[in-house]
Structure 1
Amino acid sequence: MSLWQKIMQKADVKQYLQEDIKFQKSLRAKDLMALGIGAVIGTGIFILPGTVAATVSGPGVILSFLIAAIVCATAAMCYAEFASALPVAGSAYSYGNIVFGQLIGWIIGWALILEYMLAVATVSVGFSAYFSAFLQGFGIKLPQAISGPLNLQQHTYINLVAVIVVLLISAMLSRGMQTSMKINDWMVIIKIAIIAIFIAVGIFYVKPKNWSPFLPFGTSGVLTGASTVFFAYLGFDAVSSSAPEVKNPQRNLPIGIIGTLIIATILYMAVATVLTGMIPYTKLNVADPVAFALQFFHLNTVAGIISLGAMAGMFTMMVTMIYSSSRLVYAIGRDGLLPQFLGHINQKHLPNNSLIVVTIIIAIMGGFINLNQLAELVNIGTLIAFAFVSLGVLPLRQRHDIQNDGFKVPLYPVLPIISLLLCLYLMTQLKQITWIASAIWFLIGIVIYLTYSIRHSNLNHSNNN
């Protein structure tokens, strides 16, 4: 078999389904929406509506969120079709393996590893900052030595809170999804309740004159704002990684993916509407615009509650992303492209080997490395996966061996192509440094693939037998 034939081999659908049947099916549609909302609604809901309104969109940021949601919906529907047709672990990685071949699957998987792990590590640092500020409200100040990444000049050695929160979430996930989902569901409820409190309180301080002019930067400002807030919706794709653990995946996965997007859009637009109605948009270019608006009206208690909402938002986001990254690494290990011990499932039907490895890597990144320059890499990893999934719907529909009695993308093939083009456009908007850093990441991935993965792939072994 030639090198080209090896790297373009396509995974066997039946074998994937047979392997992943070992998972315990316990997740329902509401659990999937809790996972999705947990990932999508984080600190961004308390920051982006204000900063984007002040800098590029004005009160028209409300429309920016709607447009960004419509763009995301095109990719979400492509994910929903794949999740319905192929309820297997690994999300876009496995989809790529099946419809494009092993090399493309590996590239998507490598992009998603970057997205999930870097996202959690970055958010763990944000959680640490909020938690430290919360403690300071009670007169407790953490020692500087354990409050930041390794930097001998500034006398910081480890961000201990970031490490501990990652370890706690992983310990929770290692006990099983039923326990984890109960905790995650409550955290999501708390988060939504806190957002609702802001809307319910803030609406009494809205002055309609603050919405005029509605489009101070014109329609181009609304579109620029849409490309900025687009990234606020990222995370709904993580729902598809739960496929093998979902009851009735053909029905529940599309509900979970699309339902997440609808609820997130309503919440984002509601917060943006109230916030820009409370305070003139020109004053909202601050680090914490929601808290600023509440403090402006001397609602300091509610502002303090918002900080709890931010921590709840970051916690649930980390739950979803650690969960998803462990299932992704399990799927790649299952296929032999990473060491096969990562593809093992224990007696409780959990891939805890992959969870342990993922936890160690994330904890090291969050605890010891300054991630400020790397955060935008999350965006490029996501958009690469979105682009391939959108394009992948075309060959998926041509596969007669894959039955799909569930959700299908409407307006086929126009809508998947539109989704692909939108993803490519957004990728062109990323900074040059992001492209350089991602090129280095993918170069490392290709080296690993050519030196290890291609020789240990289960596809090679099965075809040689």
Structure 2
Amino acid sequence: MSLAELRGQMLRRKPIGEIEEDTPADERLAKSLGLWQLTAIGVGGIIGAGVFTLAGLVAHQTTGPAVLLSFLVAGIASAAAALCYAEFAGMIPKAGSAYTYGYVSLGEFVGWFIGWDLLLEYIAVAAVVAIGVSSYFNFLLEAVGIHLPDWMLGAAGTGNGHVVNVFAALFCLGAAFVLSRGIRSVGRFETVAVGIKVALVVLIIVLGVFQIDSSNYTPYFPYGTGAVMTGAATVFFAVFGYDAMSTAAEESVDGKKHLPKAIIYSLGIAMVLYVLATLVLTGMQKYTEIDPGSGFSSAFKAVGMPGIANVIAVGAIVGIITVVLTFMLGVTRVWYSMSRDGLLPEWFAKTHPTRKVPTRVTWIVGIASAILAGLLPIATVAELTNIGILSAFVVVCVAVIVFRYTRPEVPRTFKLPLMPVIPIIGVIFSIWLTLSLQWQTWVRFLAWLIIGLIIYIGYSRVHSKLNQPGAAVADAPAR
């Protein structure tokens, strides 16, 4: 094979109109999600470990009270990317999200790169969140007098006697079970659970504001102003989730109309709650005393409100589980979409005959995330997730610019304003945040991408549906 042939395979693009039409009946997904169910899934993916775990962890170890600014910086970068996702979602309401957007606009290799990236990142996000919810679960058990053996309470190196985080692993497997029951069940569960979670965060804000001691905000930058960017890079995974929601596009009853709105609504709701919640947390308790595992519960306990602390622990468990569900939903749909396109074995694209969900990949993802959650510390997994998602955001922001000018005739139900300023802001912020991550994170990420490159050259480019005789390939973009 010549380099010219390899280049042609890597740059071939999937036609928008043929993404789903030729899908066999046993590989199709059921459509049952409306606007508010999609928004609930988005909010469910955004609000969770960021409020209940990472806010306290980052405030305690990295930023101090300035954690609020870290969330704002991360939110600005995420908002720029969210508008890009919204424009694509209105054009291409198909499973796969950033993978699909990259495939149709920038070519097969970019699509593969971002899809392979998201397989690891979404699994890692689910693991991070499960670790977070396990801390609250243990807090609740101790509050009622149940003390479990140290070996089962965390990964090795995270505490005295810790060996494995049993509860985190079980939460991942439980989420896989719920997903395997069908998308309608997931949508209903998410809607109810997200309602409980939002009510809980509002309760935290309303009660906590009366417990604020302004002296806790001094010093505001105990670790220096540069720590704000490091904190933003760490909490970044807490301000996306709409991207995982967009992977469920084919299960929406009207994706072109509802997806752009759901993306914008979910991020807007989440950011307002994040800002107010972090303001309350760092005002209630000195940053040096905040519990990095269960921040809000420990804060309310410290101000003499243990009953509220227990309520928060229960609500946090329910709320954080919705994040696990959302990102597991995301990774299974990306995996399903890549397999349907031939870039991974088609065996993974088979759906359950009655529930119409990809149960095979769902259980593989559940087991993989359980292993990560059980054996790795939360900070290590959190940074790994962020570099992958930031890379996906760069691709989507670049792709929306390219597609706007090369395919202006494609109908768009939503067009992001200030093109190309907003996508460029998204690219700059995303790259800036990746540079704040530790070098070990880059090494792990590059190792994963090298493995993906080997698989693409050895398997995916040959088995791609676009490599089959007579396959339709998108015309070269207009110049």
TM-score (norm 1): 0.89
2:464 maps to a residue whose letter is: S
Q: Structure 1 residue 405: deviation in Å?
A: 3.3
Aligned to 1:36: 42
Q: Structure 1 residue 457: deviation in Å?
A: 1.0
Q: Distance in 1 between matches of 2:173 and 2:225?
A: 45
Question: 1:68 and 1:178, CA in 2 relative to 1: closer, same or farther beyond 3 A?
Answer: same
Write out aligned runs for 1:231-242 (5 A). 231-242=237-248
Aligned to 2:433: 426
Do the aligned residues in 1 keep the contact of 2:93 with 2:249 (CA within 8 Å)? Answer: yes
Q: Structure 1 residue 387: deviation in Å?
A: 0.3
Q: Structure 1 residue 258: deviation in Å?
A: 1.1
Write out aligned runs for 1:267-306 (5 A). 267-280=273-286, 283-284=289-290, 287-306=293-312
Q: Structure 1 residue 298: deviation in Å?
A: 0.7
State yes or no: 1:447 paired with 2:454: yes
2:20 maps to a residue whose letter is: L
Q: Distance in 2 between matches of 1:50 and 1:346?
A: 41
Question: 1:462 and 1:370, CA in 2 relative to 1: closer, same or farther beyond 3 A?
Answer: farther
Aligned to 1:338: 344
State yes or no: 1:394 paired with 2:401: yes
**Structure 1 vs Structure 2: percent identity of aligned residues?**
37
Question: 1:201 and 1:373, CA in 2 relative to 1: closer, same or farther beyond 3 A?
Answer: closer
Give the secondary-structure state (helix, strand or coil) at the position aligned to 2:20. helix
State yes or no: 1:438 paired with 2:440: no
Aligned to 2:12: 9
Q: Distance in 1 between matches of 2:272 and 2:397?
A: 24
Gaps of 5+ in 1: none
Q: Distance in 1 between matches of 2:131 and 2:66?
A: 31
- Work out which of the residue numbers 328, 331, 335 in structure 2 matches 1:329: 335
Write out aligned runs for 1:167-206 (5 A). 167-206=173-212
- Work out which of the residue numbers 102, 121, 131 in structure 2 matches 1:115: 121
Question: 1:252 and 1:270, CA in 2 relative to 1: closer, same or farther beyond 3 A?
Answer: same
Question: 1:192 and 1:295, CA in 2 relative to 1: closer, same or farther beyond 3 A?
Answer: same
Write out aligned runs for 1:58-457 (5 A). 59-142=65-148, 159-208=165-214, 225-280=231-286, 283-284=289-290, 287-348=293-354, 349-367=356-374, 373-400=380-407, 403-457=410-464
Q: Structure 1 residue 157: deviation in Å?
A: 7.7
How big is each residue's C-alpha offset from its partner over 1:302-341, in whole Å with a ceiling of 9 and x where there is no partner? 1122222322232111110111111111001001111101
User: In terms of mean alpha carbon deviation, does 44-53 or 180-189 score higher?
Assistant: 44-53
How big is each residue's C-alpha offset from its partner over 1:431-456, in whole Å with a ceiling of 9 and x where there is no partner? 10011111111111111111111221
Question: 1:202 and 1:126, CA in 2 relative to 1: closer, same or farther beyond 3 A?
Answer: closer
Q: Distance in 2 between matches of 1:220 and 1:368?
A: 31
Q: Distance in 2 between matches of 1:298 and 1:449?
A: 57
Give the secondary-structure state (helix, strand or coil) at the position aligned to 1:408. coil
Gaps of 5+ in 2: 473-479
Question: 1:10 and 1:291, CA in 2 relative to 1: closer, same or farther beyond 3 A?
Answer: same
Do the aligned residues in 1 keep the contact of 2:135 with 2:293 (CA within 8 Å)? Answer: no
Task: Tell me the C-alpha RMSD between the 2 structures.
Answer: 3.0
Q: Distance in 2 between matches of 1:51 and 1:372?
A: 9
How big is each residue's C-alpha offset from its partner over 1:36-56, in whole Å with a ceiling of 9 and x where there is no partner? 111111232134545555666
User: In terms of mean alpha carbon deviation, does 177-186 or 331-340 score higher?
Assistant: 177-186
Do the aligned residues in 2 keep the contact of 1:10 with 1:102 (CA within 8 Å)? Answer: yes
Do the aligned residues in 1 keep the contact of 2:143 with 2:310 (CA within 8 Å)? Answer: no
Give the secondary-structure state (helix, strand or coil) at the position aligned to 1:410. coil
Do the aligned residues in 2 keep the contact of 1:374 with 1:434 (CA within 8 Å)? Answer: no
Q: Structure 1 residue 118: deviation in Å?
A: 1.4
Do the aligned residues in 2 keep the contact of 1:210 with 1:280 (CA within 8 Å)? Answer: yes
2:430 maps to a residue whose letter is: C
Q: Distance in 2 between matches of 1:163 and 1:68?
A: 28
Question: 1:147 and 1:287, CA in 2 relative to 1: closer, same or farther beyond 3 A?
Answer: closer
Do the aligned residues in 1 keep the contact of 2:153 with 2:164 (CA within 8 Å)? Answer: yes
1:188 maps to a residue whose letter is: V
